[in-house]
Copies of this chain bind each other. A is one copy, B any other.
Amino acid sequence: MTHGAWPTEGLSFGGDYNPEQWPREIWREDVALMREAGVNLVTLGVFSWGLVEIDDGRFDWEWFDEIVELLHENGIGIDLATPTAAPPSWLLAKHPELLPVDADGHRQAPGGRLGWCPSSPVFRRYAERIADALGERYGKHPAVRMWHVSNELGGGNGRCYCDESAAAFRSWLERKYGGLDELNAAWGTSFWGHRYTDFEQIMPPRGSTAAHSPALQLDFERFSSDELLEHFRAERSVLARHTDRPITTNLMVNTGDVVDYPRWARELPIVANDHYVIGADPHREQELAFADDRMRGIARDRGPWMMMEHSTSAVAWQPVNRAKAPRELLRNSLVHVARGADAAMFFQWRASAAGAEQFHSAMVPHAGRDSKVFREVVELGSALRRLAEVQGSTVERAKVAVLWDTEADWALRRGLKPRRSMSYSDEPRRWHRAFWRRNILVDVVPPWADLDAYDLVVVPTLFLVSDEDAARIAAAAERGATVVVGYLSGIVDPDDRVRLGGYPGAFRELLGVSSEEFFPLMTDEQVELDTGWRVREWSELLTTTDAEVVAGYANGPLSGSPAISRRHTGNGSAWYVSAGLEEDGVAALLDRLIEGTGVAPVLPAAEGVEVVRRVGDAASWLFVVNHGSEDEELTVTGHELLTDEPVDGRLVVPAGEVRVIRE
């Protein structure tokens, strides 16, 4: 589909709507409040399976028809979900064997969500049947604007270790490798003498504490992602018989991927995300931007994407569920729009009185209409209507790319590593933060992305990389870009085998360095560079073979050795950062990296003020978000859309507020 086929006029606004939790008299109030708030799209049906298919093959459509009509009459579009995230109790009782099994052999108990093994043929059959029934009944209904397959696939059933999964894993391996010789070679099964002589000998990496082969573990991650994607495709095929509306599913791109979202996204006409702020994250404002910049990086043609679920305030599943401060709801939602979301959808419309998520915030809170949250929801609805013209525009093209690869994350996360407490997202987020602090827009893209348009390419902890991707990165430098490779990049190939001859294997030549040995720093250990920058977590014994030394160690066991290097190559340069820099070091290094390049801020602004531009055919819009606690002033000219006032060059953005200027 093209971007023009967006499911709503203007930006989408609404959320998950679960009317089955409420008596019919509330439905009327719901629709009235939706209209008050300007809701134009709701996701319906996510948790309705057991209420619609009330027994095996027996359906009760009456109430569902009624709610569909009610929404339709009130002009509220429907994002219709197949309800397969939440199988009915009768199904789990009839087929307990479809409940997932964990690595230690415990079969999941009924009572949660997504309680099904992705490789279960029995479940697949039931899922296809309900999808077919829904498609048949509502496939042509004018209120249905798009389809939403299942919900947060992989959240709860991301990995299943049951015998059915084991068999499916073996088939997947046979398809991938062809024969055992190829598999034995790829995995290096000579180690510990594990060589397989029959596919039947291969098991999922059961036993959560065992030291499994890293290659086996990585393939199990890939397999698990593929099985879930296969499930998506199966439901999509069924629906496609009945509808020509876009069929998508909601990803959970945050930090740490359950499945391979960048690869999944290639199959989605509208890329949709569920995003929840982690209250304890000290950099949560930046994390919003980071997740959005990833979404844009994986969306088809970097076009608009959909914020399918976020929260009006606190969630229920964190250790401490931080509420959003007054005005934070509007601010955060508009950050997403600024960075390419053409939607602000929430989980959920009305806060549940009962059930596991009874304390999750909603658009209509327990306190009801007369509440901060609903007032801010109404205000957001109004703001989105004022911004309707932005829909379909694109975010101004970034000149900086930060690479992120889910397979590299998986490879780094599992198996015995030089340092085990590392999170894959730390370095990408640290780099992104330095750019974000200066209002320099970044695309967070997969390593196979087209890098032609970027002046600066940052490659943080790209632990696993293919020869092709490594060559493409090298070509970017050759072409004229500045490429910065971080430590623990290029270490293994796609078979999870170490690239021999010195680290960082795949990038050694590009960088003109060779690292002999990792010197991870102990918890609380710190060393310094001769630039004064502090180093934590990571150092390496580095030799420059064809590069100049930018910084070296001032103390510690590697005192005198190089830590950061630069090599001129073609029209560009390639930097290696072999040390775990703290934020101030990254920021200082950034200054030197962008010197003389075209990389520049969207607009100069004080720390904590975020500026992004969206560009349409006829106009462009500047989004200015003040995350701080003091009012800030910028120089801008245009028309402020939210307050409907002209801006004469001087724009004051009060603390905690957002301004959108048509330039």
Q: Which residues of A contact B (CB under 8 A)?
A: 18, 20-21, 47-51, 54-55, 83, 86, 88-90, 92-93, 103-113, 187-198, 200-203, 205-207, 210-216, 279-280, 313-314, 316-317, 319-323, 325-326, 351-361, 365-368, 371-373, 415-421, 495-498, 500-503, 514-523, 541, 557
User: Would you call B211 and A367 a contact (CB within 8 A)?
Assistant: no
CB nearest to A357 among chain B residues: B416
Which chain B residue lies CB-closest to A185? B354
Contact A21 B522, beta carbon cutoff 8 Å: no
- A and B contact pairs by CB, cutoff 8 A, 5 listed: A112-B192, A112-B210, A213-B355, A356-B416, A373-B517
Q: Decide if B195 touches A89 in the complex (CB within 8 Å).
A: yes
B357–A188 CB distance below 8 A? no
Contact of A419 among B92, B211, B320, B325 (CB under 8 A): B320
Q: Report if A418-B314 is in contact (Cβ < 8 Å); known contacts: A193-B20, A368-B500.
A: yes
* CB-CB nearest in chain B for A495: B354
Residue of B nearest to A111 (CB): B212
Inter-chain CA distance A419–B315, complex, in Å, is 10
Q: Please indicate the chain B residues that have their CB under 8 angstroms from the CB of A104 in the complex.
A: 106
Residues of B within 8 A of A501 (CB): 366-368
Q: Other than the known A214-B355, A359-B518, what 4 A-B pairs have Cβ atoms closer than 8 Å?
A: A51-B195, A89-B201, A112-B192, A322-B519
CA distance A594 to B160 in the complex (A): 60
Pick the contact of A323 from B50, B365, B520 — CB < 8 Å?
B520
Q: Would you call B514 and A355 a contact (CB within 8 A)?
A: no
Say whether A541 contacts B372, CB under 8 Å.
Answer: yes
The residues of B that contact A49 with a CB separation of less than 8 Å are 193
Give Cα A501 to B279, complex, Å. Answer: 26
Give the distance to chain B from A390, nearest Cβ to Cβ, in Å: 29
Is A557 a contact of B325 with CB atoms below 8 Å? Answer: yes
| Closest partner residue, chain B, to A351 (CB atom) | B498
- A321 contacts which of B89, B415, B418 (Cβ < 8 Å)? B418
Residue in chain B with minimal CB distance to A96 = B203
> Closest B-chain residue to A316, C-beta based?
B416
Residues on B with beta carbons closer than 8 Å to the beta carbon of A200:
93
- Looking across the interface, which residue of chain B has its beta carbon closest to that of A416? B316
A465 to chain B, nearest CB (A): 15
| Shortest Cβ gap from A360 to chain B (Å) | 8
How far, in angstroms, from A227 to B585 measured CA to CA in the complex?
Answer: 56
The 5 closest A-B CB pairs, nearest first, are: A188-B354, A191-B355, A109-B207, A109-B206, A50-B193
If A113-B192, A313-B517, A421-B320 touch, whether A366 touches B197 (CB-CB below 8 Å) is no
Q: Within the complex, which residue of B195, B198, B418 is in contact with A316, where a contact is CB–CB below 8 Å?
A: B418
CA distance A236 to B621 in the complex (A): 79
Contact check, B523 vs A320: say whether CB atoms are below 8 A apart.
yes
Partner of A354, one of B205, B213, B516: B213
Q: Which of A89, A207, A319 has the most CB of B within 10 A?
A: A89
Cβ contacts under 8 Å, A522 to chain B = 279-280, 320, 322
